[in-house]
Amino acid sequence: MAKTVYPFLILCFSFLLYSQSINFKLTMFDDDSLLLSNQEFFTEDGSLSTIFTTDAFMENDKTFYRPLQNMSFLIDVKLSGGMNVWMFHLTNVLLFSIIAFLFYFLLLRFNISRVYAFIGTLLYASHPLFVSAVAWIPSRGDLLLTLFSIAAFIFWIRFIDNKKYHFLILTWLFFTLALFSKETAAFLPLVLLLHFLIFTPKPKIDFKMILLGFLMLCTALVWLFLRNLSVAGSDLNLTALDFFRNMLTIPVSLAMFVVPYSFSTVPEFTLTNVLIGCVLIILLIVFSVKSKSQPGKQKIFYLLWFLLLLIPTFFAKTKEWDYLEHRLLLPLAGILMLVLLHIQNKNKVKVTSVMVALIVVFSVVTVFKTKGYENPVSFYEAVKHNKNKPEVYYFLKGNVEQVSENLDAALRSYNAAIKYDPNHRKALNNRGIIKQERGDFEGALADYNKAIDLGMKNFHIFKNRATVKMTLEDYTGAIKDYGTALEYEFHAEILYRRGQAYLMSDDDENALEDLDKYALEGTVDPEIFTTLGISFGQKNQFEQSLYCFTKAIETDSTYTPAFFNRAFAKYISADYSGALADCDKLLSIDSLYSKANVLKATLQQIINSQKNESKE
């Protein structure tokens, strides 16, 4: 009976524990960039080719490649009939429930007794450290990574046991799904290989193992190719010092796993949790040496599971916060397995009592911690628990205020964030946007310059700085920044803007080249080319002027201002018959166009006069 009851209870427990989050709103911390900024794509386009050839934010200037994450968001939209936030939250809760369900079976595969597998899974599901993995929508990639990695491991163990081809295919399939969910899965084959070498009495590489390795290599090459097409590399400027500092995640994650006291939605490294973690590392080493509950190599495997699946997070560090807890969902499963294997042979009554008590305490803490993700305000207010990084609180507060168009409050919050951390790139960028909107172009330029110098380089910041430079009549600088923006992400609009910058700097050849490319990229407002044609005409450059008016007419054959201005340009150029033809066409569209009637009368007089002169 326990075979069916335990998995069912795990599913119900996990779902009910996080059910409150289904009615939560967005936090406006990355979920706005992932979902709101791409609302048109998810509701109208939904192209799979776009999903697999753009980064996690549906652009090409970020560092994360998560196509299955975005595919899951697209499925949410299709199933719920729109951008319904409750559906995104519901899917997160369901995915986490399935993860707990599969984790139970994984524990059984590692020879953990059914009772301890059940209690251990409830402990895992209720742990407050994993709240962000469920209640925060952008952690969808970690949920998918964990789900597919656990499934891959279950089928891997089945494959090692009986070498059936269908388990080989399933292992490869779930590895592929994990890799396209999040980059961390690139280390998964190494963990699988270590498991084979450590847990198999006489490990021997045979044809089927080689075949599986070949299939995984093919997956990795395809993934690498698509990823290189989709992301712009790293804009984090990660130094060796940054990498080693990120290693503090090791002791801190262990500390928070054992003593999960933080309620912050954006946690930080503190001296307390670093010291607790270091003590735990020492205890783990001593335990691994002295404990006889399992072979030494197997204990090393669980530690390597933790370390190898945590290492990729060291390469994904921003400068605004220390670490994010959702990244620990898969790595810490290794530590829990190590603990469960050790305690299952101890006094069962005492151990079970302690674990049940922890599940109760963890569940209560999780329910309260989850509320921090209820809405944008509760999210940034939870950051007040951070003692060493007040700039994070003020930045997140300013971000919410800016989205709500409370710009005065947002400006005060960004000023406070920059006061605490003068090198806060995102606060500088966002403050620059507000200054630009308010006409403080010199101030905006200074903020953009500093943010870029600090390593913030993407399409948006170069486009914004170029626009400011245009206003300040630095056309050469604007041309350069528009070009850089196009290198990060192509938008036809930027060709038009750069064309204007070339025009203002009297580089007519490059101006027309950009504008011609712009016209080929899609729907063009004929007013744009008409305005440009007038600009050329004012400079007595009638050939370019006529070119622009013709482009406008090709875009919209009924756009009367383009016909009139082309007629007038031909009149100035002494092409009277061509001008008259344009006037006739214009008047056939709008017979009451007064200026065209006046110009036509003038043209007819000139043409008649020329005819009379030729007769004489």
Average pLDDT over residues 344-352: 82
Average pLDDT over residues 57-61: 75
In three state form, how does the secondary structure of 165-197 look? Answer: HHHHHHHHHHHHHHHCCCHHHHHHHHHHHHHHH
Per residue in 549-569, pLDDT (tens digit) is 988 898 888 999 999 999 999
Average pLDDT over residues 29-42: 90
Name the residue with tokens 């742990």. Answer: 127
For position 235, what pLDDT does the model report? 44
Q: Is 425 exposed, middle or buried (0-12, 13-18, 19+ CB in 10 A)?
A: buried
pLDDT confidence band for 196 (50 / 70 / 90)? very high
Q: 349 vs 476, which has greater pLDDT? A: 476
For position 531, what pLDDT does the model report? 79
For position 126, what pLDDT does the model report? 97
Give yes or no for residue 484 having a pLDDT over 70: yes
Give yes or no for residue 414 having a pLDDT over 60: yes
Q: 339 vs 146, which has greater pLDDT? A: 146
Name the 3-class secondary structure at 439.
Answer: coil
Q: Which of 126-135, 228-237, 470-479 has the lowest mean pLDDT?
A: 228-237
Average pLDDT over residues 318-347: 86
For position 84, what pLDDT does the model report? 96
Residues contacting 611, CB < 8 A, separation 6+: none
- Alpha-carbon distance values, 60 to 54, 100, 448, 483, 491 (Å): 5, 34, 20, 15, 12
- Run of H or E residues at 85: helix 85-109
Q: Which of 445, 451, 325, 442 is nearest to 395 (CA)?
A: 451
Give yes or no for residue 260 having a pLDDT over 50: yes
Name the residue with tokens 């595919």. Answer: 71
- What angle is formed at CA 570 by the lines to CA 567 and CA 576, rounded to 5 degrees? 90
For position 398, what pLDDT does the model report? 95
For position 319, what pLDDT does the model report? 63
Name the 3-class secondary structure at 59.
Answer: coil
Give yes or no for residue 236 having a pLDDT over 60: no
d(CA 438, CA 216): 53
Q: Is 96 exposed, middle or buried (0-12, 13-18, 19+ CB in 10 A)?
A: buried
- Alpha-carbon distance values, 40 to 23, 46, 60, 64, 382 (Å): 23, 9, 17, 21, 31
d(CA 444, CA 422): 15
d(CA 12, CA 97): 8
Give yes or no for residue 240 having a pLDDT over 80: no
For position 317, what pLDDT does the model report? 60
Query: What's the number of CA atoms in the CB half-sphere (13 Å) around residue 400?
Result: 17
